[in-house]
């Protein structure tokens, strides 16, 4: 009986000692320090995780960069799963920056500190010699030792009378840590951020939310207010004047602005991806592709080389970023897009389109150009765009060895892409040639080709015994009679061939390989 009682006493003692040492060794899990923005007094609120091995915790604080021993006890709280939040109503969360730690009363360790964020908001013109009265500068101290490290700060705002805060911007954060053991210093430099594009003469409320990497913890600063100035800046007209194709490879975009009462910070150029058909504004999705600093003039020229002018319509717009007001936005304008095809053997159908919002009312006239050897020849004038595109049927240009191109020119001298249309080749062969002729074009034998193709081109001449005396894999160059390419001069291996009849064979592909041309015949060499 005595042994049984002793065993029970020993077991109870061991259980007590085990619980005692566990409690001593346990450190509280400090979750966050946040301002309760739902409370009009905006008290500082502490929160920790429940731990059954801890019986009581002490809450300590410090107002400066204190070491481990410099913390003062505020309160002692029983660990209760129903109440893991403690509010500090005596602190002024709008001006007092406090560092808090939790301490296991039964001898456990002290947590690393966490702090409240004190937010200040001032109209930018009050703190700068030259500032905008409708922009607000926010500053707050960094949050330290957030569980899983801080990921970003959210800048939230609302106007007086609104119920809910709205997100203005997420700001990536430095992941501040502090450890008593490592002796790291507290971060002291405040974070400064300017909130722009606010309405004039309005009272705004701002709050900062800090969020950890796993998005499981978020803490709030106090609410700070600022009233913007009464300055109201009228909108400034920004006009996208031209989208011009240069060298058939890239666009130049001209932007014209009225005079700005207050200089903007930057002028941004935005572009939507190419489209085959004109679209309305609701289907566009713009991305910033370039920017320009403000200057005293009203003309800005952008170059966009990441395009293919022959691939479709590119939509452009410009935005002036000005802190004093809502951004000024330009009209929307596209390039002139030209496309077409051969519909009959000697007939080309040419389509062109351009989309403009605001600028085109009524539509402006266009000219259809034919380009021959880089010279432009207007062939149809005063065209307008009806129902988003215009169709023009033209006869193809057919001159010796020339492939003509088409291009559209607008009234403001902006140009479309260039268009080449493949045609079925037309070939004529002379029946004789005289190497000693006074006329240079009669001294060699060559095919006179309209719409030539170099695709699998082969031109061979044989003598009366079937021996090959000439071969060319390239067509002759138009009007360059001194160029031997594709022209037989009546010689073989450097010696003059005798007068007589010679046979020839020519073949090549055209229209991107969809057609095949071949011909045989004879020619008289005169001596």
Q: What is the pLDDT of residues 142-192, one digit of tens each?
A: 999 999 989 999 999 999 888 899 999 999 987 667 666 665 556 668 899
Residues 61, 37 within the same domain: yes
Determine the average pLDDT of the residues in 74-96: 93
Regarding beta strands 375-383 and 491-492, do their DSSP bridges make them parallel or antiparallel, or are they unpaired? unpaired
Q: Output the pLDDT for position 130.
A: 60
Q: Which of 449, 478, 446 is nearest to 460 (CA)?
A: 446
Residue carrying the six token digits 């020619």: 523
Two tokens, residue 340 = 């077409």
Q: Output the pLDDT for position 23.
A: 42
Q: Output the pLDDT for position 421.
A: 79
Q: What is the CATH number of the domain that holds 509?
A: 2.60.40
Q: Tell me which long-range contacts 498-501 makes (C-beta under 8 A, separation of at least 24).
A: 498/525, 498/527, 499/524, 499/525, 499/526, 499/527, 500/463, 500/464, 500/524, 500/525, 501/464, 501/525
Q: Given 56, 89, 114, which residue is the final one in a domain?
A: 114
Two tokens, residue 307 = 């395009």
Instruction: Kindly state whether residue 2 falls inside one of the protein's structural domains.
Output: no
Residue carrying the six token digits 């006329």: 439
**Confidence tier at 324 by pLDDT (50, 70, 90):** low
d(CA 204, CA 189): 25
List Cα–Cα distances, 7 to 4, 14, 17, 145, in angstroms.
5, 11, 15, 47
Two tokens, residue 345 = 């053997």
Position 289 pLDDT exceeds 70: yes
Q: Output the pLDDT for position 151.
A: 93
Candidate from 162-171, 352-361, 514-523 with smallest mean pLDDT: 352-361
Candidate from 66-80, 244-258, 407-421 with smallest mean pLDDT: 66-80
pLDDT digit string, tens, across residues 114-123: 999 999 999 9
Instruction: Kindly state whether residue 15 falls inside one of the protein's structural domains.
Output: no
d(CA 385, CA 353): 7
Two tokens, residue 187 = 């971060």
Q: Give, as one character, the DSSP assignment of residue 275.
A: B
d(CA 466, CA 502): 9
**Confidence tier at 18 by pLDDT (50, 70, 90):** very low
Two tokens, residue 299 = 């003309």
Instruction: Kindly state whether residue 8 falls inside one of the protein's structural domains.
Output: no
Please report, to the nearest 10 degrees, the dihedral formed by the alpha carbons of residues 342, 387, 244, 239 taken in order. Answer: 180
Q: Given 81, 114, 147, which residue is the final one in a domain?
A: 114
Residues 6 or more apart whose Cβ sits within 8 Å of residue 181: none
**Confidence tier at 448 by pLDDT (50, 70, 90):** confident
Share of the chain above pLDDT 90, in %: 51
Does the pTM surpass 0.85? The reply is no
Domain extent at residue 69: 22-114
Residue 14, classed as helix, strand or coil, is helix
Handedness of CA 140, 141, 146, 151 (dihedral sign): positive
Residues 345, 314 within the same domain: yes
Residue 9, classed as helix, strand or coil, is helix
The helix or strand, by DSSP H or E, that contains position 156, with its residue range, turns out to be strand 150-159
Residues 417, 432 within the same domain: no
| CA 470 and chain centroid, separation | 57
Position 1 pLDDT exceeds 70: no
Could you give the number of structural domains in the chain? 4
Instruction: Kindly state whether residue 317 falls inside one of the protein's structural domains.
Output: yes
Position 359 pLDDT exceeds 70: no
Q: What is the CATH number of the domain that holds 199?
A: 2.60.40.10
**Confidence tier at 346 by pLDDT (50, 70, 90):** low
d(CA 270, CA 145): 41
**Confidence tier at 124 by pLDDT (50, 70, 90):** confident
Instruction: Kindly state whether residue 6 falls inside one of the protein's structural domains.
Output: no
Position 68 pLDDT exceeds 90: no
d(CA 464, CA 466): 6
Q: Output the pLDDT for position 380.
A: 87
d(CA 334, CA 60): 65
Instruction: Kindly state whether residue 454 falls inside one of the protein's structural domains.
Output: yes
Determine the average pLDDT of the residues in 80-85: 93
Instruction: Kindly state whether residue 147 falls inside one of the protein's structural domains.
Output: yes
Instruction: Kindly state whether residue 187 falls inside one of the protein's structural domains.
Output: yes
Residues 247, 348 within the same domain: yes
Is residue 274 packed enough to be buried (19+ CB in 10 Å), middle (13-18) or exposed (0-12)?
middle
Residue carrying the six token digits 């049927």: 393
Position 24 pLDDT exceeds 70: no
Q: Output the pLDDT for position 230.
A: 76
Residues 271, 411 within the same domain: yes
- Tell me the average pLDDT of the chain: 85
Residues 328, 260 within the same domain: yes
Residues 222, 272 within the same domain: no
Position 19 pLDDT exceeds 60: no
Q: Given 171, 202, 227, which residue is the final one in a domain?
A: 227
Residues 6 or more apart whose Cβ sits within 8 Å of residue 337: 309, 312, 313, 352, 353, 354, 416, 417
Position 514 pLDDT exceeds 70: no
Highest mean pLDDT among 124-133, 231-240, 312-321, 346-355: 312-321
**Confidence tier at 298 by pLDDT (50, 70, 90):** confident
Residues 242, 280 within the same domain: yes
Share of the chain above pLDDT 70, in %: 83
Position 212 pLDDT exceeds 90: yes
Residues 6 or more apart whose Cβ sits within 8 Å of residue 103: 28, 57, 58, 59, 60, 73, 109, 110, 111
Residues 414, 383 within the same domain: yes
d(CA 46, CA 36): 10
Position 231 pLDDT exceeds 50: yes
Residues 58, 169 within the same domain: no
Position 262 pLDDT exceeds 70: no
Residues 417, 430 within the same domain: no
Residues 273, 414 within the same domain: yes
**Confidence tier at 316 by pLDDT (50, 70, 90):** very high
Q: Assess whether the previous peptide bond of 131 is cis (omega < 30° from 0).
A: no
């Amino acid at each position: 009986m005595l042994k049984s009682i002793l065993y029970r006493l020993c077991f109870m003692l061991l259980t007590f000692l085990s619980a005692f040492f566990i409690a001593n060794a346990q450190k509280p899990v400090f979750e966050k320090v946040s301002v309760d923005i739902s409370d009009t007094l905006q008290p500082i609120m502490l929160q920790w995780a429940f731990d059954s091995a801890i019986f009581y915790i002490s809450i300590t604080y410090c107002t400066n960069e204190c070491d481990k021993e410099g913390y003062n006890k505020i309160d002692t709280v029983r660990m209760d799963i129903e109440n893991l939040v403690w509010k500090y109503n005596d602190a002024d969360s709008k001006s007092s920056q406090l560092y808090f730690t939790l301490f296991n009363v039964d001898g456990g360790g002290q947590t690393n500190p966490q702090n409240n964020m004190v937010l200040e908001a001032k109209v930018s013109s009050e703190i700068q010699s030259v500032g905008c009265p409708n922009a607000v500068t926010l500053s707050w101290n960094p949050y330290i030792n957030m569980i899983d490290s801080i990921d970003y700060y959210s800048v939230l705002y609302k106007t007086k009378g609104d119920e809910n805060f709205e997100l203005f911007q997420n700001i990536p954060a430095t992941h501040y840590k502090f450890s008593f053991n490592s002796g790291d210093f507290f971060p002291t430099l405040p974070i400064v951020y300017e909130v722009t594009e606010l309405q004039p003469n309005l009272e705004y409320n701002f709050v900062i939310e800090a969020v950890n990497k796993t998005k499981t913890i978020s803490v709030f600063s106090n609410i700070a207010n600022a009233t913007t100035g009464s300055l109201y800046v009228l909108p400034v007209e920004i006009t996208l004047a031209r989208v011009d194709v240069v060298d058939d490879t890239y666009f130049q975009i001209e932007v014209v602005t009225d005079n700005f009462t207050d200089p903007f910070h930057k002028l941004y150029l935005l572009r939507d991806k190419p489209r085959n058909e004109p679209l309305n504004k609701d289907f566009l999705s713009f991305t910033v592709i370039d920017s320009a600093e403000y200057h005293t003039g009203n003309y800005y020229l952008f170059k966009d080389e990441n395009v293919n002018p022959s691939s479709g319509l590119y939509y452009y717009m410009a935005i002036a970023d000005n802190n004093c007001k809502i951004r000024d936005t330009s009209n929307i304008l596209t390039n002139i897009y030209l496309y077409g095809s051969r519909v009959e053997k000697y007939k080309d159908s040419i389509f062109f389109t351009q989309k403009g919002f605001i600028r085109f009312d009524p539509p402006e006239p266009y000219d259809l150009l034919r380009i021959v050897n880089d010279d432009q020849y207007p062939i149809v004038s005063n065209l307008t765009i009806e129902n988003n595109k215009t169709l023009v049927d033209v006869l193809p240009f057919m001159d010796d060895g020339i492939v003509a191109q088409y291009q559209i020119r607008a009234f403001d001298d902006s140009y479309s892409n260039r268009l080449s249309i493949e045609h079925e080749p037309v070939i004529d062969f002379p029946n004789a040639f005289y190497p000693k002729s006074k006329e240079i074009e009669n001294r060699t034998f060559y095919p006179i080709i309209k719409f030539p193709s170099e695709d699998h081109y082969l031109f061979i001449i044989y003598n009366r015994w079937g021996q090959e005396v000439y071969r060319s894999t390239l067509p002759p160059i138009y009007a360059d009679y001194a160029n031997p390419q594709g022209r037989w001069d009546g010689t073989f291996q450097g010696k003059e061939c005798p007068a007589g009849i010679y046979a020839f064979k020519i073949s090549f592909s055209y229209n991107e390989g969809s057609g095949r041309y071949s011909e045989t015949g004879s020619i008289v060499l005169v001596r």
